[in-house]
Structure 1
Amino acid sequence: MLLTLQCCGQDTDGLYEAMEKAVARSEGSWSGSTNSRSAVEKAIESQTKSEDWEIDRRLLKTGERIASGSCGDLYRGVYLGQDVAVKVLRSEHLNDTLEDEFVQEVAILREVQHRNVVRFIGASTKSPHLCIVTEYMPGGSLYDYLHKNHNVLKLSQLLRFAIDICKGMEYLHQSNIIHRDLKTANLLMDTHNVVKVADFGVARFQNKGGVMTAETGTYRWMAPEVINHQLYDQKADVFSFAIVLWELVTAKVPYDSMTPLQAALGVRQGLRPDLPENAHPKLIDLMQRCWDAVSDNRPSFSEIKLELEVLLQEVQEPSGAVNGN
């Protein structure tokens, strides 16, 4: 998930090689870890008292593994009587970079509370048993819903999903948080099909200044300015949302005939997914504005949400109907 290349120059063989290696490292990987108990505890406890959210591992029961990555595993579990998801980090993969990501992820999760953001329950910073515990989302990810279960969405359901995503992302952006890895695999559903933004392994607070890491996220959803090592801001998340919206409309994997590297190189040169046939023209217009190469031309999530809410009201109220629902 975290792609950091050493070279920042032109299209050279070295760049291609580095990108290939980065893709190989990142596909399906987890972000967030640590290699020192004291470093993690000191970093997080400098912001808050750890006992407010520190998990008592004796009370945490882990069950089946529901996902696996290169640096850790995700389990279903029970904590204090409630179903939870437990992200367990493997001690043999811990290093300084993963330590920083773990600290950042916990710091961000502690600060966010919204209906459309996965709820943080606690974390264990006691090395080597490092984990993050969040609410369990029984509906699974939008990626699986679309691509493994092969669900084709009706327009009204598609719009509700998209509005949920916008509400979560609007809240994060208003909280000065940039997600940096918005994709259908990181959008989870509860029992009522409410979509929530999840996985803050590479998310960052944006109000602290400094330069954001280049090529952070997942290539198929990544904005061109991120791929190109240019300065970027929260509008990079809007580009990623455009690809998510395209997925919701088409029920296809973006650039499915390409490798992640080929897709990234194509996006650098202006490539975008083929516009879907028979889609609502307002959705096509919206996704084109959201994936504009010039980030300042992209709308904000507040603007996108309003447009989608108006469109949902239109499709729920056929012309001539007295009561639109």
Structure 2
Amino acid sequence: MKKIREVRHENIISFIGACVDYDNICVLIAYCARGSLEDVLGNNDLHLDTMFVSSLVADILKGMIYLHDSEIISHGNLRSSNCLVDSRWVLQISDFGLHEFKAGQEEPNSKAKENKRLLWRAPELLRHPAAPARGTQKADVYSFAIVLYEIVGRAGPWGTQGLSESEIVSRVRCPPDGQLFRPPIDHLDLPDFVEKCMRCCWDEEPEQRPDIRYIRILLKEMHTGLPADDGEIRVQITAFRTKLITLIEAAQHEAVQKEVAQHGAVQKEVAQHGAVQKEVAQHGAVQKEVAQHGAVQKEVAQHEAVQNEVAQHGAVQKEVAQHGAVQKEVAQHGAVQKEVAQHDAWKRQELPLTLQDVYSVLMKNKRQRKKILTGSAVWTDGATPWSVKRCIRRNVSRPFQHAVHDTAGVPRSRYAVATTAAIRHILAMPSRVKALI
């Protein structure tokens, strides 16, 4: 860890520290805003011209030369995901050293991750039953060749061969039919010196591979467009990277503005949708009120119908009452007519009036009895009211005509004159007295 902390180079990531707590072992390094080389190559919107590719390759070579000349000796795990790019588009190599510190750590999906890491590993390390964790410099050269293929091809470390990671590793470890298995380069439009360099670097024999310094010489033509002086190279590379950063940021800003505009349009549509929903809700409320108003109108109509029926019932009752009054008046009129008819019949002596009727009048009207008998009789021959009374009582069950008159209509006795006068007086009495008959 002390050796890692003392490493200082522009193309080597700065080591800050490490955490050794139980279940929380981690390494803290400098932050690189652009992510890894794998992320940069996977961004199809980013165009990598010859100058940019040359700059990335040069940064890798300079960092690896520094590591091979330092006490670290070798990287042992070089791949595109361990080559980080900072905000100035300067490539920095990471994940070197500390192999013993990180050994035995448990990772989720460790089997799949390990198969992917083996795509950059040299065949001799794949065949070695106890390969050194720090690897070898010749193995780093092989890994550099895979990374270089990944940069120029931009199709992954092994291109598009249609094989799984475990199948690729198996063919590299044990070549089928003795034929070496390497990434395909026939379809790539590469300069001869780049193709030659890659073939030399992934040679099956480690000793046939060039060292990292010689690779820089093999790829010297790649840097032809770059100034020879290192200071001038840095200035131009920095200017180019700054320009590239500006273009990328402008493109990102434009994309953000476009997304903001789309978001605004979506918000506007959402607002319009909310307004429509509000109008629909208001329309529903209006319809509900209309329905309630219709129900009220229906109730009012029913109430008016009931009132009309009540009024009609009242009119009927009034007519019934009037009819009853008329009937009462008719009955009273009939009674009056009956009395009038009786009165007329009595006056004409047409009714079968008996002495019983006269006797009943005299018995019911005790107060007027004397008045009736004394005031109406024509007393002759010693006749008195009492004698008339006796005459009436004796003949009470006989008709008047037979009781006091003979067959010729002549009064039978002196009492007959008084009795006839009394009956005539009764017939002339007011109706309230005659009603007692």
Normalised-by-shorter TM-score class: 0.5 to 0.7
Kindly provide the amino acid, as one letter, of the partner of residue 125 in structure 2: V
Q: Which protein is bigger by CA-based radius of gyration? A: 2
In 1: Cα distance, 2:127 partner to 2:45 partner: 33
Kindly provide the amino acid, as one letter, of the partner of residue 238 in structure 1: V
**Offset, 1:139:** 1.2
The answer to whether the aligner puts 1:243 opposite 2:142 as a matched pair is no
The answer to whether the aligner puts 1:189 opposite 2:85 as a matched pair is yes
**Offset, 1:243:** 0.4
User: What SS class does the counterpart of residue 124 from structure 1 fall into?
Assistant: strand
User: What SS class does the counterpart of residue 29 from structure 2 fall into?
Assistant: strand
User: What SS class does the counterpart of residue 224 from structure 2 fall into?
Assistant: helix
Give per-residue Cα distances to partners, 1:262-310, cap 9 Å, x unaligned. Answer: 11112231211111521121111111111111111111111112333x3
Answer whether contact 2:116 2:165 (CA < 8 A) is retained.
no
In 2: Cα distance, 1:156 partner to 1:182 partner: 23
Cα distance change, pair 267–219 in 1 and its aligned pair in 2 (3 A) = same
Higher strand share: 1
Give per-residue Cα distances to partners, 1:113-159, cap 9 Å, x unaligned. Answer: 21111001122334454332111001110101112446452122111
In 2: Cα distance, 1:143 partner to 1:129 partner: 26
**Offset, 1:198:** 0.8
Structure 2 unaligned residues grouped into runs of 5+ = 101-113, 228-235, 237-437
TM norm structure 1: 0.57
Aligned match of 1:306 in 214, 217, 226? 217
The answer to whether the aligner puts 1:115 opposite 2:10 as a matched pair is yes
The answer to whether the aligner puts 1:226 opposite 2:125 as a matched pair is yes
- The equivalent of 2:61 in structure 1 is 166
Aligned pairs, number: 203
- The equivalent of 2:253 in structure 1 is none
Q: Percent identity?
A: 34
The answer to whether the aligner puts 1:293 opposite 2:204 as a matched pair is yes
In 2: Cα distance, 1:159 partner to 1:135 partner: 24
Kindly provide the amino acid, as one letter, of the partner of residue 81 in structure 2: A
The answer to whether the aligner puts 1:283 opposite 2:194 as a matched pair is yes
Indicate the RMSD between aligned Cα atoms, in angstroms: 2.7
Q: How does 1:119-130 map to 2 (within 5 A)?
A: 119-130=14-25
Q: How does 1:1-325 map to 2 (within 5 A)?
A: 106-149=1-44, 151-175=46-70, 176-200=72-96, 203=99, 218-229=117-128, 233-255=136-158, 256=160, 257-268=162-173, 269=175, 270-275=180-185, 276-308=187-219, 310-316=220-226
In 2: Cα distance, 1:113 partner to 1:131 partner: 21
In 2: Cα distance, 1:203 partner to 1:108 partner: 13
In 1: Cα distance, 2:73 partner to 2:30 partner: 20
Kindly provide the amino acid, as one letter, of the partner of residue 119 in structure 2: R
Cα distance change, pair 128–202 in 1 and its aligned pair in 2 (3 A) = closer
Answer whether contact 1:182 1:221 (CA < 8 A) is retained.
yes
**Offset, 1:180:** 1.4
Kindly provide the amino acid, as one letter, of the partner of residue 227 in structure 1: L
TM norm structure 2: 0.43
Higher helix share: 2
Kindly provide the amino acid, as one letter, of the partner of residue 202 in structure 2: W
Cα distance change, pair 254–217 in 1 and its aligned pair in 2 (3 A) = closer
Give per-residue Cα distances to partners, 1:89-117, cap 9 Å, x unaligned. Answer: xxxxxxxxxxxxxxxxx455223221111
